[in-house]
A and B are shown apart, each in its own frame.
Chain A
Amino acid sequence: MVFEIGRLCVKIAGRDAGLRCVVIEILEGNFVLIDGQTRRKKCNLKHLEPLETVLKIKAKATHADVVSEFKKLKLEIKETKPKKASERPKKFKKKKEPRNKEASENTAKPEIKTVVKNITEEKKTASKVKTTKESTPEKKKVVKKTTVKKKVITEKKK
């Protein structure tokens, strides 16, 4: 049997393609448990390319045993931590306070009346303000009228 426990293989498919792995356990059908430079998971035999070397590993070996065997063959294994899915921020909708219909009807009409009054009052106050001006920073220049003497040239009678 080609795919026995301890057989070194190269993964062909998936994002682990091109990486070396070891067969740890034989499962039902065409599936096999692998570990090494790839992730520790089951894999189809069609996605594996067997190599000549066979490692001395027990069935269902741990990841640490596989790492030690790979170090002897001078194969580096990158240890990565599994990423935790970050929680998405939940959006909370602001609850609108229910409007009281009775209160809105009573307050609407008087508001309009007061607005009209305010406008008329403002006009009166504005008109008054125009007449009584406070001292402005700019002082007007007072120009006195000056008479300009025109020279009248009269021809002397000979």
Chain B
Amino acid sequence: MPRGKEKSRTLRRVFKKLPGERTTLHYEKRKPSKAKCSGCDALLKGVPRERPYKMQNMPKTKKRPERPYGGVLCTKCARKKIISQTRN
């Protein structure tokens, strides 16, 4: 029977096969959602979705694209911002 804390839907149910030819149920924590653009709420590319303990051990270059406003704005919003800054 599952324990009380295992009944919450924030955990995902995963069936795992054991070497003794037996399958068991494991309760694992879910990954965070994908990063979104702060301007237009579009999904950002080049930003991985991993739990904090994995993100901390990743190098900086693997967490965001190498360009201005990388990981914050999408390419369209970044271009608009740079153009508005140059014209003003």
Instruction: List A residues at the B interface (Cβ < 8 Å).
Output: 10, 12-15, 17-18, 49, 51
Q: Give every chain A residue within 8 A of B67 (Cβ-Cβ).
A: 13-15, 17
Instruction: Known contacts A49-B86, A51-B86; decide if A13 and B66 are in contact (CB<8 Å).
Output: no
Report the separation of the CA atoms of residues A13 and B83 in the bound assembly, to the nearest whole angstrom.
11
Identify which of B8-16, B19-27, B74-82 touches chain A: B74-82
Report the separation of the CA atoms of residues A13 and B87 in the bound assembly, to the nearest whole angstrom.
16
Q: Give every chain A residue within 8 A of B66 (Cβ-Cβ).
A: 15
Instruction: List B residues at the A interface (Cβ < 8 Å).
Output: 66-68, 75, 78-79, 82-83, 85-87
Cβ-defined contact, B83 with A49, below 8 A: yes
Chain A interface secondary structure, helix, strand, loop or mixed? loop
Instruction: Known contacts A10-B86, A49-B86, A51-B86; decide if A18 and B79 are in contact (CB<8 Å).
Output: no
Cβ-defined contact, A13 with B86, below 8 A: no
Report the separation of the CA atoms of residues A18 and B87 in the bound assembly, to the nearest whole angstrom.
12
Q: Give every chain B residue within 8 A of A14 (Cβ-Cβ).
A: 67
Q: Give every chain A residue within 8 A of B68 (Cβ-Cβ).
A: 17-18
Q: Give every chain B residue within 8 A of A17 (Cβ-Cβ).
A: 67-68, 78-79, 82
Q: Give every chain A residue within 8 A of B75 (Cβ-Cβ).
A: 13
Report the separation of the CA atoms of residues A12 and B66 in the bound assembly, to the nearest whole angstrom.
14
Q: Sample 24 A-B pairs with CB under 8 A, ordered by A number.
A: A10-B82, A10-B86, A12-B79, A12-B82, A12-B83, A13-B67, A13-B75, A13-B79, A14-B67, A15-B66, A15-B67, A17-B67, A17-B68, A17-B78, A17-B79, A17-B82, A18-B68, A18-B82, A18-B85, A49-B82, A49-B83, A49-B86, A49-B87, A51-B86
